[in-house]
Amino acid sequence: MEPGRLRNPVSQLRKGTLEYCVLALLQDGQRYGFELVRTLSETDGLLVSEGTIYPLLSRLRRDELVSTSWQESEAGPPRRYYQLTAAGKRALADFSEEWARFRDAVDALVTPQRRAGR
């Protein structure tokens, strides 16, 4: 690491928040893996490699934040659907609250016009 520079600060942030983005995508109901992964990868600014979301999904399942079920699809083989568990909903709610505070705090510091008003 170069002295005086953080290593990829934004990529660390992305990494830390990605699992909550996954949980957030599931709050309106179940989705299957491919759909979830494609939606995330097409979200501007997240810059995720699609393949790396699958290990994350598997971890969320092991942590019992999501549950999965196989369901028949109208075309092609059965799909594995992911949905939030009660613990997943709680984790998402906690994160959303923390995140709003965190985002406002960082905004207040890094946005120049807001600093002028202090």
Partner 1 sequence: MKVHTDPLVDDYLRRLDAAASTLPADQRDELVSEIRDHLEEALRQTPAGDQAAVRNELERLGSPEEIAAAAADPAPSQPAGAASQINGFAIASVLVAVLWFAGLGAVLALVFGYRARRQIKDSADGQPGSGLATAGIILGWIGIAIVVTVVILISLHPNKSH
Q: Does residue number 9 form part of the binding site for partner 1 (CB under 8 A)?
A: no
What is the four-CA torsion angle of 31, 86, 60, 57, rounded to 10 degrees? 0
Crossing angle of helices 86-110 and 9-25, rounded to 10°: 140
Q: Quick one: which of 54, 100, 104, 111 contacts partner 1 (CB under 8 A)?
A: 54
Q: Residues in contact with partner 1, total (CB under 8 A)?
A: 25
Query: Segment near partner 1 (CB under 8 A), from 9-17, 82-90, 108-116?
Result: 9-17
Residue at 52: amino acid letter: T
Q: Does residue number 77 form part of the binding site for partner 1 (CB under 8 A)?
A: yes
- Residues 41-54: b if buried by 16+ CB within 10 A, e if exposed: eeeeeeebeeeebe
Strands 31-32 and 66-71: unpaired
Q: Quick one: which of 39, 41, 67, 83 contacts partner 1 (CB under 8 A)?
A: 41
As measured in angstroms, the least distance from the Cβ of 14 to partner 1 is: 10
As measured in angstroms, the least distance from the Cβ of 88 to partner 1 is: 13
